[in-house]
Chain A
């Protein structure tokens, strides 16, 4: 059985410490399963609070080029759901960091929603985020997920009307994931100027923690978002680093460096400090 509420406990602890959560997204099997295993432990040591494990899919229609290539590498390395669950199960001897499966619905549907939720909970997964499964279609996954103590994480977008956000929030658990750009995943030079306003609006309809992702790639951006949201998700920037370092073999150290710098910047921003060297942000 998964330890029900690992996500909830983590946000409670962070809130008590006045911190925002840093959630790295890494594609399982990018470039191989062993690297993914080492990355999870390394990123936790460098300050990651939750981990989103990308489940490879052949047709990732909401992902930009960096994550498309990462997902293709994961697919090539044989990162099936079964292989991912088995890896997480082994990792649970070493870490209790909350782990969320992040992917598209077809591999899950093909595995079987009931069977997946039971196996995922047993392996130590805490939540599932399925990009192409809006609440309208989520019933067949949600029932077994809740029966097994797994959170279903829903996306909210800049195009989501506030009444719909309220309805989605009511059926959500764990946290809400706000997509910060009207677009696919991938690094952006600038954050949406209206992000703060969207956050204030969302706060008025939910008490759940709100994470922000899509487009955040630098410590400066992470710090800025940390002052507005409960969690910061970074994905494509990590996929690009893994790609760049895959051959030299020290991807874990490089990604660890980025994650460490992001978490430091986020903590400083939350304390109201202006960390040295971050004064030249062009945002």
Chain B
């Protein structure tokens, strides 16, 4: 496998820096600051120490004995990112980038958020490092995710509802970019997933790769060998790339990304970007997108608010095209079933996003021999989704 991205931020034909000129110098500044930080033992030590003491790493690699027995196929391990502080893997990235913001002397940190998990993880770091924080969030999501809005405010962040476009994550990202164009001199824009212009997809991947590095070490310790299959949900794709990246050169390991098929990929109500989309340019990079025949971005749907972005990280597009990773999708209904199954069999309530990965694991495991080992990234916990799940199950809480 070649090393990506190249020096200009390209993953094959994907990635790049498709932004307004006003932002170009800041992207160069960020790239150079990041490269210095990465080589600086002090930066690495602080990241490591805070990951351990504040985030709660390493997270366990947990063998699901009940689920494995019930399905009768491959051994299923969960990488428990749901046990991270703030309840999801998002914090791995916000910690790393917030340390960069401090290093770059930026007094203000901004973020886009969909479900609010990245917004909460950013607001958490802004509180810890005493930075001003503003989170952009589609007004529909502000409505849908009021609990996370409250959490962000409690953490001292300003939450700005975005009224443009479809009033969801992509529009929040538009507004965060607009804000950054105007405030670039004192503001660190903390992107939450492996999307956006170079160097963000690389930076986010690197900070999330702690997931795969730990999982690799842990599975070697438990099993004395590498796993056969990795499964993770994909939208922007940060939890998936975080798990996959340290295994990329282990070509015996299958890597499967699971997208949101919503109400089904035969209709318009889904967010299965890699599996059904076409190549285009949005939010600073070239990648697979859900778009119409004129190159206008389409509206999406998923029961998981954190899976309804119409794009995908450029590295996933590249992994698909070179054939290193496989991508598939599961529907809202399958994800809901998986959420119930995991809750009942293992006593773990996954986030709806992570339930997509679990759903595919439940489909795949019985087809595989018992000797095989599968690692599923449990990227977040389900507490935030209880209203949605109750509504979908016809229960009033």
C-alpha spacing A168/B297, complex, angstroms: 30
Q: Could you show 17 A-B contacts with beta carbons less than 8 Å apart?
A: A57-B295, A57-B296, A58-B297, A61-B173, A62-B178, A64-B178, A104-B281, A106-B289, A110-B294, A132-B19, A137-B18, A154-B21, A156-B21, A159-B25, A160-B21, A160-B25, A182-B185
- Give the residues in chain A near B296, CB-CB below 8 Å: 56-58, 75, 106-107
C-alpha spacing A106/B20, complex, angstroms: 14
Q: Which of B18, B182, B291 makes the CB contact (< 8 A) with A133?
A: B18
Contact call B17/A159, Cβ cutoff below 8 A: no
C-alpha spacing A105/B19, complex, angstroms: 10
A4 at the interface (CB under 8 A from B): no
C-alpha spacing A64/B178, complex, angstroms: 8
Contact call B21/A182, Cβ cutoff below 8 A: no
- Give the residues in chain B near A64, CB-CB below 8 Å: 178
Q: How far is the CB of B108 from chain A (nearest CB, A)?
A: 14
B26 at the interface (CB under 8 A from A): yes
Contact call B24/A132, Cβ cutoff below 8 A: no
Q: Which 9 A-B pairs have the closest CB atoms?
A: A110-B295, A183-B182, A157-B22, A107-B295, A155-B21, A62-B20, A58-B296, A61-B177, A58-B297
For the complex with contacts A75-B296, A106-B297, A183-B182, 7 further pairs of A-B residues with Cβ separation under 8 Å are: A58-B165, A61-B283, A105-B18, A134-B19, A137-B18, A156-B21, A157-B24
Q: Which of A109, A132, A158, A168 makes the CB contact (< 8 A) with B20?
A: A132
Contact call B170/A59, Cβ cutoff below 8 A: yes
C-alpha spacing A131/B282, complex, angstroms: 12
Q: Which of B170, B184, B289 makes the CB contact (< 8 A) with A182?
A: B184
Contact call B22/A110, Cβ cutoff below 8 A: no
- Give the residues in chain A near B297, CB-CB below 8 Å: 58-59, 106
Q: Main SS of the interface on chain A?
A: loop
B181 at the interface (CB under 8 A from A): yes
C-alpha spacing A161/B297, complex, angstroms: 33
A41 at the interface (CB under 8 A from B): no
A184 at the interface (CB under 8 A from B): yes
Contact call B281/A109, Cβ cutoff below 8 A: yes
A247 at the interface (CB under 8 A from B): no
B174 at the interface (CB under 8 A from A): yes
A233 at the interface (CB under 8 A from B): no
- Give the residues in chain B near A62, CB-CB below 8 Å: 20, 22, 177-178, 181
Q: How far is the CB of A174 from chain B (nearest CB, A)?
A: 16
C-alpha spacing A64/B181, complex, angstroms: 11
A179 at the interface (CB under 8 A from B): yes
From 35 to 73 in chain A, residues with beta carbon under 8 angstroms from any chain B beta carbon are: 56-65, 68
B236 at the interface (CB under 8 A from A): no
Interface size on A, residues (CB 8 A): 43
Contact call A137/B181, Cβ cutoff below 8 A: no
From 163 to 202 in chain A, residues with beta carbon under 8 angstroms from any chain B beta carbon are: 164, 168, 179, 181-184
Closest to A81 in B: B294
From 9 to 31 in chain B, residues with beta carbon under 8 angstroms from any chain A beta carbon are: 16-26
- Give the residues in chain B near A61, CB-CB below 8 Å: 20, 173-174, 177-178, 283
Q: How far is the CB of B20 from chain A (nearest CB, A)?
A: 4
Contact call B181/A132, Cβ cutoff below 8 A: no
C-alpha spacing A179/B185, complex, angstroms: 16
Contact call A106/B26, Cβ cutoff below 8 A: no
C-alpha spacing A137/B291, complex, angstroms: 21
Closest to B170 in A: A59
Q: How far is the CB of B140 from chain A (nearest CB, A)?
A: 16
Contact call A179/B21, Cβ cutoff below 8 A: yes
From 129 to 159 in chain A, residues with beta carbon under 8 angstroms from any chain B beta carbon are: 131-134, 136-137, 154-159
- Give the residues in chain A near B264, CB-CB below 8 Å: none
- Give the residues in chain B near A156, CB-CB below 8 Å: 21
Given contacts A75-B296, A109-B280, A182-B184, whether A137 and B21 have CB atoms under 8 Å apart is: no
C-alpha spacing A63/B174, complex, angstroms: 9
B8 at the interface (CB under 8 A from A): yes
Contact call B280/A106, Cβ cutoff below 8 A: yes
Q: Which of A59, A111, A154, A158 makes the CB contact (< 8 A) with B22?
A: A158
Contact call B294/A157, Cβ cutoff below 8 A: no
Contact call B281/A132, Cβ cutoff below 8 A: yes
- Give the residues in chain A near B24, CB-CB below 8 Å: 134, 136, 157, 159-160, 164
C-alpha spacing A186/B189, complex, angstroms: 22
Q: How far is the CB of B268 from chain A (nearest CB, A)?
A: 15
From 30 to 81 in chain B, residues with beta carbon under 8 angstroms from any chain A beta carbon are: none
Given contacts A68-B164, A132-B18, A137-B17, whether A106 and B25 have CB atoms under 8 Å apart is: no
A80 at the interface (CB under 8 A from B): yes
Contact call A183/B181, Cβ cutoff below 8 A: yes
Contact call A136/B17, Cβ cutoff below 8 A: yes
Type the 1/0 row for B259-297, where 1 means its CB is closer than 8 Å to any CB of A: 000000000000000000010111110100101011111
Q: How far is the CB of B307 from chain A (nearest CB, A)?
A: 19
Q: How far is the CB of A175 from chain B (nearest CB, A)?
A: 15
C-alpha spacing A62/B280, complex, angstroms: 18
Contact call B281/A184, Cβ cutoff below 8 A: no
Contact call B20/A159, Cβ cutoff below 8 A: no
Q: Which of B8, B174, B278 makes the CB contact (< 8 A) with A60?
A: B174
Contact call A159/B184, Cβ cutoff below 8 A: yes
Q: Name the residue in B8, B278, B282, B295 with the highest tally of chain A Cβ atoms < 10 Å from its Cβ.
A: B295
- Give the residues in chain A near B184, CB-CB below 8 Å: 159, 182
- Give the residues in chain B near A183, CB-CB below 8 Å: 22, 181-182
- Give the residues in chain B near A155, CB-CB below 8 Å: 20-22
Contact call A106/B182, Cβ cutoff below 8 A: no
C-alpha spacing A184/B184, complex, angstroms: 12
Given contacts A160-B25, A182-B181, whether A110 and B280 have CB atoms under 8 Å apart is: yes
